[in-house]
Structure 1
Amino acid sequence: MNTTDRLAPYGVVRHWILLLCLLLALPHVQAEPLSIGINAMWGPGDEPTLRKRFQKARALGVTQVRLDWEWRRVEATRGKYNWRSMDTLVRVAHEEGIELLPIVHYAPNWALRPESKPTDVYEMAPKEEAFADYARFLKACIERYGPGGKAKVPFTPILYWQVWNEPNIKNFWGPEPDAAAFTRLMRLVQRETRALRPAAKLVHAGLSKSDLIFFWQLWEADPHYGDTFDIMAVHPYLFDWWDGVREPDEMDDDDSEYAALGVVGSHNDPGYLGKVFNLQLMMTLKGYPGKPIWITEMGYFVADNRLGVTDAEQARRLRDTVDFVELRLTDKPFGQGNQGELAANVQRLYWFSLEDYPSPDGLGTFGVFRSNGTQRPAAEALRNEVNQVSAP
């Protein structure tokens, strides 16, 4: 990642402290109760498979499903849209009572950067010349399947659209992350979809962990970056290559300079769940207080290694994680001191994932359902958590 080691130049911290104090004096933004969704696969995209997946989600009490919405499936030829696969998806979701959160990504071949894809990269970033094509595609999707959409099949209007996935790591923005480029993509999306908002809302790409450095770089590239999205998103996984799997309530020591701003913990290790709060803090500092945050991925994979957990441990950690998010990261002030006056405002959590999935690196065992269709203990744990957070 191309980055500096500091959030702000030396000598500017006192300015930000003053600004923070002023912003924290603003009226409190009323947060919504936490709701729980789940991540599911789209592929292979046939009707029977989709229907079974949506029925599994409903059996858990979940009606909100996040899944890939592949640009390459629709616009394989530039300027020509084939909506057949999407029509099937939205119709089946409607029939099964599912609210979709599409992750709009995976560029078609003609839109990709020209470099060869490294083996450790899942998807390459689109080339700069194709950013406008992506924005037009997203607009066309909203016009067809969003509020007032013109699709010829029965569908539940899709209100929320997520713009890409984890652009702060090379795995989903190959060959390497580029915050400035991503801001340009977001600006084009904003301009194309301006007339469709706020009826349809843009969810920011989920950041891989609470990456405060990349987050700050977005605003360095565009001081009004907060105008480009309605909801911030993050994937605060707690497995760490050195520490193993962390507990939801763990936190490293504060950095004294950044603690003066209200930053929780150090800024150079984003792998703690409470650091979701830092994203809300930074949005407040930048003049966008109270913007909702969604955790669009969170989970634990089952494996016999230091980064994995057992079946029973996955269920226990699911309960502890949901409880921590609900009790500490929704509408209650977080922490002490400056940050104690501000809530993280997390409003949704999409668990990862419904089912195990094929994975060349062996990390595909996140499912509350195993690949053979049987339930893990985490399935019942998730069902109980959904019932609890939805209870009056």
Structure 2
Amino acid sequence: MTLWRIARAGIIAVVVLATVLGCAPEPTASTDTVIPSGLGISGGHSWLQLSAEELDRQMGLVAATGATWVRIDIDWSVIEPVRGKQDWSATDRAVQAARAHDLSVLAILTYAPAWAGPHGGVGGSKAAPQPVLFGRFVGDAVEHYKDQIAHWEIWNEPNVTAFFAPRPDVATYAHLLRQAAQAVRARQPHGQVLVGGLAPADDNGQDISPTSFVEALYQLGADADFDAIAVHPYSYPELPDSQSWYNAFGNLMRIRRIMDSHHDTAMQLWPTEFGAPTGTGARAVSEDVQARIIDQGLGLVTAIHDVGPVFVYSLVDAGPDSNDLEQNFGMLRRDYTEKPAVTVLRTHAEVLRAGR
């Protein structure tokens, strides 16, 4: 496998992104390499299910790759399944393990217990909660972790039905965002509020494309309530520079342009999930192609100005079923042996670890 030469990443990425999007990159890219502010691993919900010993092992492996960030679920449905009875032990274990290895934490404030929803629990934990109740939980989370966490991502993939039931609605999400921002700023004035990572999607009457979602947030005036925007630029099974219609890596540049057009040129854009599943499932890739996708994606982000930490999903394969995509995003196999993607991550880590 041939790795991209990181020193040339800025120039190459500008050309590639212009080709992918079919238009000139100005003013959102430069021929100078722009160093993002960190490299991270998005571990998924599985981190909440591990023992303290296993978490210590995995966070040590994250640090060994050269990554300096982790993305951890602060899952309301796990913490407070019964109203008024909060148990922070699962998230405490994960956050404490990360901090013990000097890893910065991006917290995803997400999902909801049945009692907090307006639809009687329909849609499960992915159902949009009542905004005021969500704001109260955000306030509790910030109070609990304000000495350990300063970056708060509000929900996960709120633009798709699978994660925002019964269906995505920008106005509803903007209300959640307002309540969350008020809760963060009242308790942690330096805290940073991120729009929840936007999934690859089309405007199909159910899901909302990331670009349409961001434009609608600006139209609603919600930009007063966020400090950065997160996006999930998955491209698999194609490489990030592919011109295939389902390659979502180009959403990074499209959203960057929207932000710039609204004069948010200094606001950061955070890629909080990207990667590719190996195995035998539909749209899975080989381990070598997984490494190439991660290699090329990490090279491309260096061409976009004001990019926050970029998070690769994920660390360890989540299960033994090679036919299940969700179980095979790891850069480590179930037995902790390395796939080629780990070498890629280490190669890019030095240039990407500028910020914390």
TM-score, normalised on structure 1? 0.73
Residue 163 of structure 2 is aligned with which of 169, 172, 176? 172
What is aligned with 2:352?
A: 389
SS at match of 1:204: strand
Contact 2:287–2:341 (Cα < 8 Å) also in 1? yes
Residue 41 of structure 2 is aligned with which of 20, 24, 38? 38
Instruction: Write the mapping of 1:137-176 to structure 2, written as runs, cut at 5 A.
Output: 137-146=137-146, 149=147, 157-176=148-167
Change over 3 Å in CA distance of 1:86–1:249 after alignment to 2:
closer
Q: Using the TM superposition, give the Cα deviation of residue 93 of structure 1 relative to its aligned residue in structure 2, in angstroms.
A: 2.3
Distance in 2, matches of 1:288 and 1:225, equals 13
Q: Using the TM superposition, give the Cα deviation of residue 218 of structure 1 relative to its aligned residue in structure 2, in angstroms.
A: 2.6
Residue 59 of structure 1 is aligned with which of 64, 68, 92? 64
Change over 3 Å in CA distance of 1:286–1:270 after alignment to 2:
farther
What is aligned with 1:334?
A: none
SS at match of 2:215: helix
Change over 3 Å in CA distance of 1:139–1:377 after alignment to 2:
same
What is aligned with 2:252?
A: 276
Instruction: Write the mapping of 1:89-168 to structure 2, written as runs, cut at 5 A.
Output: 89-112=94-117, 113-114=119-120, 116-117=122-123, 123-127=125-129, 130-146=130-146, 149=147, 157-168=148-159
Change over 3 Å in CA distance of 1:305–1:45 after alignment to 2:
closer
Q: Using the TM superposition, give the Cα deviation of residue 106 of structure 1 relative to its aligned residue in structure 2, in angstroms.
A: 2.0
Contact 2:79–2:86 (Cα < 8 Å) also in 1? yes
Identity %: 28
Q: How many residues are aligned here? A: 311
What is aligned with 1:324?
A: 300
Residue 178 of structure 2 is aligned with which of 176, 187, 190? 187
> Higher relative CO (CA 8 A, sep ≥ 6), structure 1 or 2?
2
Q: Using the TM superposition, give the Cα deviation of residue 162 of structure 1 relative to its aligned residue in structure 2, in angstroms.
A: 0.9
Q: Using the TM superposition, give the Cα deviation of residue 248 of structure 1 relative to its aligned residue in structure 2, in angstroms.
A: 1.8
SS at match of 2:272: strand
Contact 1:123–1:171 (Cα < 8 Å) also in 2? no
Q: Using the TM superposition, give the Cα deviation of residue 318 of structure 1 relative to its aligned residue in structure 2, in angstroms.
A: 1.5
What is aligned with 1:377?
A: 340
SS at match of 1:298: coil
Residue 367 of structure 1 pairs with residue 343 of structure 2:
no
What is aligned with 2:3?
A: none
Distance in 1, matches of 2:79 and 2:268, equals 30
The C-alpha deviation readout for 1:7-60, integer Å capped at 9, x for no partner, is xxxxxxxxxxxxxxxxx7xxxxxx763421001132314211211110111121
The C-alpha deviation readout for 1:169-203, integer Å capped at 9, x for no partner, is 01111221111111111111122223235411112
Distance in 2, matches of 1:191 and 1:198, equals 10
Q: Using the TM superposition, give the Cα deviation of residue 166 of structure 1 relative to its aligned residue in structure 2, in angstroms.
A: 0.1
The C-alpha deviation readout for 1:337-362, integer Å capped at 9, x for no partner, is xxxxxxxx222100011011149871
What is aligned with 1:303?
A: 279
SS at match of 1:347: coil
- Whose radius of gyration is greater, 1 or 2? 1
SS at match of 1:308: coil
Distance in 2, matches of 1:294 and 1:359, equals 31
Q: Using the TM superposition, give the Cα deviation of residue 317 of structure 1 relative to its aligned residue in structure 2, in angstroms.
A: 2.0
Give the AA of the match of 2:36.
Answer: P
Residue 93 of structure 2 is aligned with which of 88, 93, 100? 88
TM-align CA RMSD: 2.6
Distance in 2, matches of 1:69 and 1:312, equals 33
TM-score, normalised on structure 2? 0.79
Change over 3 Å in CA distance of 1:186–1:389 after alignment to 2:
closer
What is aligned with 2:225?
A: 228
Change over 3 Å in CA distance of 1:86–1:250 after alignment to 2:
closer
SS at match of 1:205: strand
Instruction: Write the mapping of 1:7-46 to structure 2, written as runs, cut at 5 A.
Output: 33-40=36-43, 41-46=46-51
The C-alpha deviation readout for 1:216-256, integer Å capped at 9, x for no partner, is 23334x1x2111111110001113xxxxx33222347xxxx
Q: Using the TM superposition, give the Cα deviation of residue 115 of structure 1 relative to its aligned residue in structure 2, in angstroms.
A: 5.7
Distance in 2, matches of 1:182 and 1:391, equals 32
SS at match of 1:356: coil
Which shifted more, 98-107 or 277-286? Answer: 277-286
SS at match of 2:140: helix
Residue 294 of structure 1 pairs with residue 270 of structure 2:
yes
Q: Using the TM superposition, give the Cα deviation of residue 107 of structure 1 relative to its aligned residue in structure 2, in angstroms.
A: 0.8
What is aligned with 1:249?
A: 241
Distance in 1, matches of 2:324 and 2:238, equals 20
Contact 1:36–1:350 (Cα < 8 Å) also in 2? yes
Contact 2:74–2:108 (Cα < 8 Å) also in 1? yes
Change over 3 Å in CA distance of 1:218–1:358 after alignment to 2:
farther
Structure 2 unaligned segments of length 5 or more: list them. Answer: 1-26, 28-33, 201-208
Contact 2:154–2:193 (Cα < 8 Å) also in 1? yes
